[in-house]
Amino acid sequence: MDQENHIVRYSTLEGGVIGVKVKSYSVEVSLTSTNEGGCLSKMKIEYESIGDSLLSEEDANDMQQGIFAMVKAVDAHLVENPTAYA
């Protein structure tokens, strides 16, 4: 976690498509405040495929949507529990 630049990085080594379509994947999520009082989230996903094949567009989109749902869930938890972090 890079608190100064509001960036979270993590790697996933098992679960979901891991072991079936990819060996592992890493995610970087950066948050930037907006003039409207919200934030802009940018996500970068890198994965190591099994064999020479790339993920299909559908599989890549499913992975992205799953990660996005997790980020939204964490955000909702932190908004509801402001004392859970400092």
Task: State yes or no: pLDDT of 36 exceeds 80.
Answer: yes
Beta bridge partners of 39: 33
Task: State yes or no: pLDDT of 56 exceeds 80.
Answer: yes
Phi, psi torsion values for 11, nearest 5 degrees = -120, 145
Supply the pLDDT for residue 58: 92
Q: List, in sequence order, every beta strand (DSSP E) within the chain.
A: 7-12, 22-33, 39-49
Domains of the chain: 7-84 (3.30.530.20)
User: Alpha carbon of 84 to those of 2, 22, 76: distances in Å?
Assistant: 18, 34, 12
18, two tokens: 């891991």
How does pLDDT run across 5-24, given as a tens digit for each residue? 778 888 887 777 787 788 88
d(CA 10, CA 73): 16
